[in-house]
Structure 1
Amino acid sequence: MGHKKKLTGIGATALLAAVAVLGVIHAQTGAAEGVMPVVSQTVDGLKAEMKVSAYPAKTLHHNEFTVTLTDREGAPAEGFKLSASLTMPSMVCGSASFDLKEISPGVYKGDAVPLMAGMWEAAITAETGNGNVIFSRRLLAER
């Protein structure tokens, strides 16, 4: 009977280990699946469609970051000054800032350079005549 209990204990340990491994795999894939290459957000009537050219972004590389701004009616929102800051909330590794230049009416581009692999938060600030509008999105970076 003692032998049977030992096998049951080993089986329970193996089952718990398998569940833990599956949980880690699910958490990692879930994090990657939860962030899309294109994210849209509307703040104060201004809509931003934020896109990263290659997704996930590559660390220590220039990743083209495009923001398309439209107004309440869907017309291009022109003439804004846009800047962005990448931070990694779960780490203390500094930030990476960059400006976005308007390349056509309502379309702004810049180069995002994540410093290390992981989940980043991109905060995009659009300077308006009435203050600033801030958009945000998560950004996954890999080596």
Structure 2
Amino acid sequence: MLADEELTSADKNQKRRWHSWLMLALAGAAAVAIVMLLVRPQSTSADSAMTEHSFAGGHLVWEIQDYPAAVLAENTFLLTLKDAGGQPIQNASLAVKLEMIDMVCGDYDFVLTEVAPGVYTGEGIPLMAGLWKATLTIDGAEDPSISRTLKAVYG
């Protein structure tokens, strides 16, 4: 009878050890999964150098020259605004905010200056390499903001 009890006790100890190893393996797999999710490449890809956007008041062509954008350098943003009839929108008040997606590294705001009828330019400076969101604000428009993504790299 004592041998049966010892065997049962040994079986219980072996089962506990197996259960402990299984829990450790699951915890390790969960830790690896969390790390992979944190360091994964951005699931959202960057837009191309030139994008087109329709809004309630017309049409926007948004171009970033010398794309992808260079980190900690002035990058020229060239925007062309036309109304619904295809005429240039002049004397608009435009501002852009750059913010890094899924990061807290600081935003960069800048205003655009009209260089030709309906053509605006400004200099934006991404602060880190990676995926950024650029949001254009048009003062007084029905749809006051338009967004796009951009990629910034070390030059």
Percentage of pairs with the same residue: 34
Kindly report structure 1 stretches of 4+ aligned residues shifted beyond 3 Å. Answer: none
Structure-1 residue corresponding to 2:34: none
CA-based RMSD: 2.1
1:45 and 1:101 mapped to 2: Cα distance?
Answer: 19
Higher strand proportion (structure 1 or 2): 1
Q: Deviations over 1:41-83 (max 9, x none)?
A: 1111321111001110000000000110001011111110000
Structure 1: unaligned runs, 5 residues or longer: 1-26
Report the TM-score when normalising by structure 2. 0.68
- Are 2:133 and 2:147, in contact at CA under 8 Å, matched by a contact in 1? yes
Residue 124 to residue 99, structure 1, CA distance change in 2 (3 Å)? same
- Are 2:53 and 2:59, in contact at CA under 8 Å, matched by a contact in 1? yes
Q: Match for 1:36 among 37, 48, 56?
A: 48
Greater displacement, 37-46 / 99-108: 37-46
Query: Do residues 123 (structure 1) and 135 (structure 2) align?
Result: yes
- Are 2:55 and 2:143, in contact at CA under 8 Å, matched by a contact in 1? no
Q: Match for 1:75 among 87, 104, 109?
A: 87
Structure 2: unaligned runs, 5 residues or longer: 1-39
1:104 and 1:35 mapped to 2: Cα distance?
Answer: 25
Q: Which has the larger radius of gyration?
A: 2
- The 5-angstrom pairing of residues 26-105 of structure 1 reads 34-105=46-117
- The 5-angstrom pairing of residues 6-25 of structure 1 reads none
* Counterpart amino acid of residue 65 in structure 1: F
* Counterpart amino acid of residue 58 in structure 1: A
Residue-pair matches, total: 115
